[in-house]
């Protein structure tokens, strides 16, 4: 029996969103990205606490060892919760770019090219910009162009 090749890449088709679909999903995406950010911060906080405890000079006492173990356990739990929420987001074909800053991207088609709505957790509307797949991550285009194109299609 042949084993599957671990190095083989599997193709996966992603759902391309419309502007209206993305707007309608903003509250749900906001909730998921907020959870991602919270779990990310929890994991980092617990990791740092464990590292600080481990860096104390001298031999650790029983209380310190217990606190370090508790912090590592809490960090692992937060990392697992982060992974679960990330999977839920990716099942929607929405992809986290920066959990700390609450950035995710939503795929759509613009002039027959793959493009991404840039979701920002701290933006009141959810997103105000987009970028082509080939653009650098920092590039942002105004949503006005997407809205104009949508108006022309109607």
Q: What is the pLDDT of residue 58?
A: 87
Asked whether the predicted pLDDT for residue 6 surpasses 80, the reply is no
Cβ-Cβ contacts under 8 Å for 61 (sequence gap 6 or more): none
Asked whether the predicted pLDDT for residue 7 surpasses 90, the reply is no
pLDDT digits 0-9 by tens, 51-101: 998 888 889 899 999 999 999 999 999 999 999 999 999 999 999 999 999
pLDDT > 90 in the chain, percent? 68
Sheet of 103-110: strand order equals 95-98, 103-110, 113-120, 127-132, 141-142
């Amino acid at each position: 029996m042949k084993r599957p090749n671990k190095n083989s890449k599997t193709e996966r088709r992603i759902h391309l969103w419309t502007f209206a679909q993305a707007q309608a999903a903003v509250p749900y995406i906001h909730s998921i990205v907020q959870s991602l950010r919270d779990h990310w911060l929890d994991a980092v906080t617990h990791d740092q606490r464990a590292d600080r405890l481990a860096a104390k000079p001298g031999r650790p006492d029983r209380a310190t060892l217990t606190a370090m173990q508790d912090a590592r356990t809490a960090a692992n739990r937060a990392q697992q919760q982060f992974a679960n929420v990330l999977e839920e987001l990716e099942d929607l074909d929405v992809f986290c770019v920066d959990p700390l800053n609450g950035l995710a991207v939503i795929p759509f088609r613009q002039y027959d090219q793959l493009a991404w709505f840039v979701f920002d957790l701290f933006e009141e509307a959810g997103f105000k910009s987009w970028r082509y797949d080939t653009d650098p991550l920092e590039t942002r285009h105004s949503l006005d162009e997407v809205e104009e194109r949508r108006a022309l299609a109607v």
